[in-house]
Every structure is written in C-alpha cells, then in structure tokens.
Amino acid sequence: MTKAELVDKMHAKAALPTKAQTEHTLDAIITALKDALASGESVSFTGFGSFKVVHRAARKGRNPRTGKNIAIPATKVAKFTPGKLLKDAVKKK
C-alpha cells in the first residue's frame, strides 16, 4: 500500500472533509512518531503495537560480491513489535 492509498482509506473512514486535510493529518502523525523515536522515546498504540529504538552492536560482515570481510559499525534502528490485536487480525486473513 502506498501513502496515497493509505490517505484514500483514511479519508473514507475518517470524518475529515478533504483528502488534503487527511494527508496533513497523516504527515503530522508520522512526524510526531519520528520525533519521539529520534529523541529515544518509545511509542505504543494499545492493541496495534509499539515502536522503539534499539542499539545494534558493531559486527563483522562479508561482502557477498567480493567475499571480503568488512566491519559493520554500531547503530541505532527503529523496531516495531506488533500487538496482540494486530497479530490476531493478520492470522485471520
């Protein structure tokens, strides 16, 4: 699903008057989520799931094309953990 398709579905279910307002609402949600994760906070939606920042340790890897060993630096990444209601909804389909 693309962002445009998500905006269409949100517009059909929400009481917002225009698709432009629906898109602005989606952009505001994404920005708030991104800002919270960037500051190290976790974000949880009951039943849907939670987003949090996790630390990945530095490790050794291998370039599959050349076979040469490379060092992969430590980094922080966003992680999503689905909630029970989301897991159950996916299982049913």
User: What is the band of 92 on the pLDDT scale with cuts at 50, 70, 90?
Assistant: confident
The pTM (predicted TM-score) of the whole model is 0.77
Q: Which domains, and CATH codes, for the chain?
A: 1-41 (no CATH), 46-93 (4.10.520.10)
- What are the pLDDT digits (tens) for 67-77? 999 999 999 99
Across the chain, the runs of DSSP E, i.e. the strands, are 43-45, 49-56, 59-62, 69-72, 75-82
SS3 of residue 15 by DSSP: coil
